[in-house]
A = this chain, B = another copy of it.
Amino acid sequence: MRARTTIKDVAEAAGVGVATVSRVLSGGSASPQTRERVLAVAAQLDYRPSALGRNLRQRRTGGIGLLVPDVTDSFYGRVADGVLACARAAGEPVIMGVTGDDAESESELIGMLLEQGVERVVAVPSGDHEPWGPAVRAGLTVVFADRRATGRDDIPAVLADERGGVRTAVEYLVGLGHRRIAYLGGHGQGQRAAAFRDTLGALGVTVDEELVVFGRATRDSAYAAASGLFQHRPDLTALVAGGNQLGEAAVLAARELDLRVPRDLSLIMFDDVPWAELCAPPLTVIAPPAQDIGYRAAELVLRSAGRRARGVSLPTELIIRGSCGPRR
């Protein structure tokens, strides 16, 4: 491997000092002819300033860290895409890690980011507050996306307006005549379940706690929860699934038990995914602006270097397709 060309090589070739080269390249003052010569030489030698040297000198790494539970999940994939898009626009590298919604993994990854000298992080937290103590103590600028960690209200977050989204969905179902509506929730989505209960209450429908169930993040667990719910309470007429994996499980379980959608069961899913349209019938969904959430979070973490920033809540959209009908 050929040795890298350094600033010293450029300085020598251009017949100037390294300080001058550095100034020219980072926009400092220099005489026009010097500037021109340095730029020409740098281009000819294909010189790239090493981020290593710069970062060490400036004691900061520039880049931004990105922690998501699972890139494979379409929702987090879109969040990540938003972060990457914003970072790219700003010319910042992104160091990415997958937590699997596990606090210990999260801790390890934060440690790794710290070692790398990263000082700005966008994360979809596992929910546990534990890992974030050391992070903020070490001076990390953190912005949460999609969720917050319990008890860390000091960390700004970019969230979907889950309450609004769930409210709209529940109102829609109730408007169709449904009364026995179930909620299938997942990891770290207490917010959504709470909104579900509140809205039902506000509409004068008594909340049946047996109809509010939670599955783990895995496909199997979600399927078991959905299937159990359908078998145990065949009287329910509508279901709100709190995420795309849960929605998938619900569709599968309903099909397995020969429940016709929407005749026997109305279905609304939180999160819009490509396959929602391909499903038979196409799924009515509450669409959170996943890509936007990532983009805004990255923007926030880049702008708020140092000072405290306030979080944001982005509106969701109810997309009515074909999976909801009047109460049977």
Are A94 and B95 closer than 8 Å at their CB atoms? Answer: yes
Are A97 and B95 closer than 8 Å at their CB atoms? Answer: no
Question: Which of chain B's residues have a CB closer than 8 A to the CB of A251?
Answer: 278
Are B117 and A52 closer than 8 Å at their CB atoms? Answer: yes
List residues 104-149 of chain A with CB under 8 A from any CB of chain B.
109, 111-117, 134, 137-139
CA distance A58 to B252 in the complex (A): 53
Q: Does A51 interact with chain B (Cβ within 8 Å)?
A: yes
Q: Name the contact of A93 in the complex, choosing from B81, B112, B134, B279 (C-beta under 8 A).
A: B112
Are B139 and A1 closer than 8 Å at their CB atoms? Answer: yes
Copies in the complex: 2
Are B63 and A72 closer than 8 Å at their CB atoms? Answer: no
Q: Does A61 interact with chain B (Cβ within 8 Å)?
A: yes
A contacts with B, residue count (CB < 8 A):
57
Are B94 and A50 closer than 8 Å at their CB atoms? Answer: no
Are A88 and B77 closer than 8 Å at their CB atoms? Answer: no
CA distance A82 to B111 in the complex (A): 21
Are B275 and A278 closer than 8 Å at their CB atoms? Answer: yes
Q: Does A40 interact with chain B (Cβ within 8 Å)?
A: no
Question: Which of chain B's residues have a CB closer than 8 A to the CB of A248?
Answer: 274-275, 278
Determine how close the nearest CB of chain B comes to the CB of A115; give it in whole angstroms.
5
B-contacting residues of A (Cβ < 8 Å)? Answer: 1-2, 4, 46, 48-53, 55-56, 59, 61, 63, 66, 70-72, 74, 77-78, 80-81, 84-85, 88, 91, 93-98, 109, 111-117, 134, 137-139, 248, 251-252, 273-275, 277-280, 291
